[in-house]
Chains A and B, each alone.
Chain A
Amino acid sequence: DQQVKQNSPSLSVQEGRISILNCDYTNSMFDYFLWYKKYPAEGPTFLISISSIKDKNEDGRFTVFLNKSAKHLSLHIVPSQPGDSAVYFCAASARKAGSYQLTFGKGTKLSVIP
């Protein structure tokens, strides 16, 4: 049972345009949502997060939107740059065994075309 779903395995965007990556979840107990970015042969790197009590969080070119009623979140990258080409993982956090644990989606490979 996949609790965090990223239904688009890949996405291609022109440099300078907006990239929108989507994520859906099923578990209502998730209270934080995170995006991680992964380059080949490297580990995932934390990008941005949002609490379940907010609907938007912005950090420079990156904005995450949360629609709690739809159990949907999205990551917007504006403007997209070639260096943004990577795999993006959506992750959701819930308390378990007294600490936070992450559940990851399968990832979306973003290609930004110069």
Chain B
Amino acid sequence: EAGVAQSPRYKIIEKRQSVAFWCNPISGHATLYWYQQILGQGPKLLIQFQNNGVVDDSQLPKDRFSAERLKGVDSTLKIQPAKLEDSAVYLCASSLQAGGLTVGTDTQYFGPGTRLTVL
């Protein structure tokens, strides 16, 4: 079974530029998550989709970050304009379903991440 795919793997941009990340979840997974992992920290949830609807985006800095999940499959995360503090690894994860009765159905599978460096 193919895992969560992300691209690009690495990106270097200047501050105030824009950047977009792409994620393809595991086939059949209804829920998709975007996390930000700053160096030395654990992953922090930015936004959660169930199918193509947003479940929670309370920690997404909406003045510069946006995300969409068209047709309930692939997702893109965009930053515009980027700041120095956005330098981090952006992780995408997916799970079979949300709100399941057992954590097994909600086990999150992570992609390899995109390492963003803002200069």
Contact = CB atoms under 8 A, between A and B. Distances in A.
11 contacts: A32-B103, A43-B4, A43-B113, A45-B110, A46-B109, A97-B48, A97-B55, A98-B55, A99-B99, A99-B106, A107-B42
Interface secondary structure of B, over-half rule: loop
Q: Report the contact-size class of chain A (Cβ under 8 Å from the partner).
A: 20 to 34
Contacts of B103: 32, 34, 49, 51, 93, 100
Nearest to B44: A104
Interface of B: 4, 31, 40-45, 48, 50, 55-56, 91, 93, 98-100, 103, 106-113
A49 B95 CA distance: 15
A99 B55 contact: yes
Interface of A: 4, 32, 34, 36, 41-46, 49, 51, 89, 91, 93, 95-102, 104-107
Contact of A106 (B40, B50, B93, B108): B40
Given A43-B91, A51-B103, A98 B43 contact: no
